[in-house]
Amino acid sequence: MANYNKSRAVFYILFIILGFLILLSVSCSKREEILTEPEEITLSNENDSSSCLVCHIEETPGIVASYGRGEHIKNDVGCLDCHEVHEDDPTGIDHNGFEITAIPSPNYCMECHPTEVAEYSNSKHAWTAFMGQYKPYYKEAVAQGLDPLSQETAKLLDPDEMAKTLLSPLIADSGILQTIGFLDDPDYNHANVTSGCGTCHGTFVIVEDDGTITGMPNAGAGRVNADGSLGSCSSCHTRHEYSIAEARKPETCGQCHLGPDHPQMEIYEESKHGNLYGAMGEEWNWDSHEWGADDIGAPTCATCHMSAFGDAVETTHNAGDRLYWELQPKISVPQWKGPDEVDLILERIPDPVAAEAGRAKMMAVCTECHSTSWAEGHFTQLDKVVADYNKVWEYADNLLTEAYEKGLADPENPIDEPAEIYHYYIWHHSGRRWRMGASMMGPDYTHWNGAVDTIMKNLGFMISDLELREAILKK
Ligand code: HEC
Ligand code: HEC
Ligand code: HEC
Ligand code: HEC
Ligand code: HEC
Ligand code: HEC
Ligand code: HEC
Ligand code: HEC
């Protein structure tokens, strides 16, 4: 009996030790996934970038560690494959005997990823700095017959300075800045144009004559690079891991797609899809190259807008490819023709044929998980919401035109009086929330933050402000 107890005790001890060892090995392999040991980060002997690694393991261990976790090192793609400066790129520096750039543009990825680069270049993401804060610069350059993408034009016209002193709803705070005398005040920096607009839309990277580089650091979606290419692939695949898992997760897009005027992230979070992502997402398969409905329980931003998904759609680096509507402008219209067909900054031509094709692709994603009638039901509802918004917008827009005609508002400064400010909030903030909430299953954004804020608050206050002015004027 005693013997039996003893052997049982030994058995238990062995069992505990074994359990401990298993736990230890699991936690070690977890650790390896997170922290690749420096000595494991090596390239083949023939790879010229081995000497970069020797220094950079000491100098920038964070960069080397993230490089060590990615796919490039596994395929012997070294630092120089991306950093060896191209002839047409003025950002080159002499660095320990190597001619390198610190800002590899999408052109540096082109040789190995031509499809992704071509699709991206043809997307609104790529052109968005020019559609955003650099629009006045772009227009002026074209008017003068100059190439808006060239370094010479940028040095001549100074795109940042033009954005900062522009009086227009494009720079929403410019109206009041003009009223209080700050718009042209040399002591007011307008630094939010670079740190705000530029961080999402992208900056202009300019190599000054003395070699200093302005416009960096930046990873904005439409960064204008010194070699004339557009965008930064790092806006979704942060250097140096270049992870598809990162790009597939909603937080990556939510870095820019949030806030009062384009709350796609908040809408997603309140949708059933986002709710499932929050509750179950940790268990989903984020790295699979053949991504499909068996890998995830609900779609993310990338699933609907960009990823290859089952047999339904191919990957696209043009995020507009599956849309029907343009929901960000004042009046919603079918998707505009893209930069391969028109000068997107100056020409806005709706393309219903391409928009229908976009809708069909989006539907193909939905029907990997839903029935056709479920998906169709959603889009029928969405199109009705868009029609309602458009009707309210036309009413509000006419109201402002009449106010100008009746002398109740002064068009000279277009964004300083209450009627103009409410008019702006209607299309730019609450009206976008209304339409985008309905696009992506966010009921609170459709109703309270959308329709109610548009009609009851912004339109309501606009009407009462104008009525009050009219009454005062009559007295
Ligand atoms: C002799 C050591 C050494 C070697 C070899 C070396 N680097 Fe560096 N590198 C540095 C140091 C030091 C810095 C500055 C780090 C800092 O500012 O904290 C740096 C900075 C950089 C930067 C940023 C430059 C900037 O202006 O922002 C890049 C990009 C870079 N290295 C890439 C490379 C590449 C690619 C190679 C291989 C071709 C390489 N380095 C080889 C030591 C080295
Ligand atoms: C797959 C392409 C690629 C590879 C491989 C690569 N880099 Fe980079 N690296 C980039 C890009 C792109 C940027 C930043 C430009 C941007 O924001 O778009 C960058 C930026 C940097 C910077 C400046 C960024 C900072 O945060 O200071 C350093 C330093 C650097 N790389 C070093 C290295 C070293 C060392 C290696 C090799 C161990 C390496 N890179 C490998 C693409 C690459
Ligand atoms: C010399 C060739 C080469 C260059 C240059 C290069 N890559 Fe890659 N890249 C590869 C290879 C090889 C793979 C792994 C196989 C594959 O997925 O195609 C890869 C994979 C990737 C992946 C997918 C990673 C994954 O988890 O599957 C991304 C994202 C990526 N690269 C982005 C970039 C970006 C952005 C640049 C430019 C800054 C760049 N690459 C430059 C060769 C290159
Ligand atoms: C937090 C990131 C962020 C900041 C800051 C930001 N934007 Fe945007 N902007 C976006 C996103 C995202 C969209 C896309 C909205 C959509 O399509 O739903 C957008 C859309 C736009 C559009 C519409 C483009 C079109 O195709 O019609 C313009 C114009 C614009 N922004 C200008 C600006 C300007 C100018 C600033 C600074 C004064 C600025 N934005 C600041 C993220 C940002
Ligand atoms: C279930 C699929 C789905 C998910 C998930 C999803 N979207 Fe959408 N998104 C749509 C649909 C559908 C539309 C409207 C399509 C149309 O125009 O017909 C849309 C519209 C948009 C628009 C265009 C608005 C405009 O200005 O025209 C943007 C930007 C956008 N989504 C970004 C995002 C971001 C960022 C996320 C994640 C935080 C996301 N989407 C998640 C399906 C989705
Ligand atoms: C707006 C976000 C975004 C930007 C910016 C972006 N990507 Fe991607 N990329 C993605 C997503 C999402 C995926 C995953 C696609 C999938 O799930 O099928 C991806 C996947 C990839 C892959 C792997 C392709 C495959 O089928 O496995 C490569 C290579 C790649 N991107 C290269 C680039 C290059 C080069 C750039 C810059 C020109 C770039 N990406 C910019 C979102 C982005
Ligand atoms: C660095 C900021 C940034 C990131 C990250 C980003 N976007 Fe965008 N996105 C923008 C801006 C700015 C625009 C407005 C483009 C324009 O001028 O119309 C935009 C526009 C869009 C549009 C409308 C495109 C069209 O043709 O109408 C979609 C859809 C979209 N983004 C989806 C995504 C998805 C999905 C992701 C993540 C995989 C993502 N974005 C990541 C900044 C970003
Ligand atoms: C990866 C699978 C997947 C994809 C792709 C997908 N959905 Fe869903 N969706 C779900 C799941 C799971 C639910 C929750 C179903 C339930 O409640 O029974 C859901 C719920 C919904 C709901 C109900 C929302 C609520 O509040 O109950 C709507 C509407 C919807 N999806 C529309 C769409 C549309 C439209 C698309 C394409 C643009 C789409 N879904 C793409 C998985 C998906």
Tens digits of residue pLDDT in 291-310: 999 999 999 999 999 999 99
Residue 279 CB–ligand 8 contact under 6 Å = no
Each as own residue / partner, the long-range contacts of residues 440-446 (CB below 8 Å, 24 or more positions apart, any chain) are: 440/264, 440/267, 440/268, 440/271, 441/267, 441/271, 441/272, 441/273, 441/378, 442/266, 442/267, 442/268, 442/270, 442/271, 443/270, 444/270, 445/263, 445/266, 445/267, 445/270, 446/385
- Cβ contacts of residue 438 below 8 Å, gap of 6+? 381, 382, 385, 386, 446, 450
Task: Give the model's pLDDT for residue 41.
Answer: 79
- Cβ contacts of residue 214 below 8 Å, gap of 6+? 205, 206, 208
pTM of the shown model? 0.94
Test site for ligand 3: of 71, 249, 307, most ligand atoms within 8 A of the Cβ? 71
The strand pairing partners of 206, in sequence order, are: 214
Residue 227 CB–ligand 2 contact under 6 Å = no
Task: Give the model's pLDDT for residue 10.
Answer: 54
Angle value at C-alpha 351, between 349 and 356, nearest 5 degrees: 160
Mean local confidence (pLDDT), 139-166: 98
CA-to-CA dists, residue 454 to 81, 171, 274, 323, 449, angstroms: 51, 21, 25, 24, 8
Ligand 3 is surrounded, with C-beta below 6 A, by 71-72, 75, 77, 81-82, 104, 108-109, 111-113, 233, 237, 242-244
Question: Do the Cβ atoms of 338 and 355 come closer than 8 Å?
Answer: no
Q: Closest by alpha carbon to 328, among 221, 434, 423, 236?
A: 434
Ligand at shortest distance from the CA of 265: 5
Retrieve residue 380's tokens.
């029928």
Task: Give the model's pLDDT for residue 48.
Answer: 86
Test site for ligand 7: of 256, 264, 273, most ligand atoms within 8 A of the Cβ? 256
Question: Do the Cβ atoms of 393 and 423 come closer than 8 Å?
Answer: no
Q: Closest by alpha carbon to 312, among 368, 360, 359, 356?
A: 368
Angle value at C-alpha 226, between 221 and 231, nearest 5 degrees: 15
Superfamily of domain 244-475: Hydroxylamine Oxidoreductase; Chain A, domain 2 (1.20.850.10)
Nearest atom of ligand 1 to the alpha carbon of 102: 29
pLDDT digits (tens, 9 = 90+) for 305-336: 999 999 999 999 999 999 999 999 999 999 99
Instruction: Estimate to the nearest angstrom the gap between the alpha carbon of 336 and the chain centroid.
Output: 19
The strand pairing partners of 186, in sequence order, are: none
For 413, other C-beta atoms within 10 Å of its C-beta total 17
CATH 1.20.850.10 intervals, the chain: 244-475
Task: Give the model's pLDDT for residue 328.
Answer: 98
The strand pairing partners of 334, in sequence order, are: 325
Higher pLDDT, 3 or 191: 191
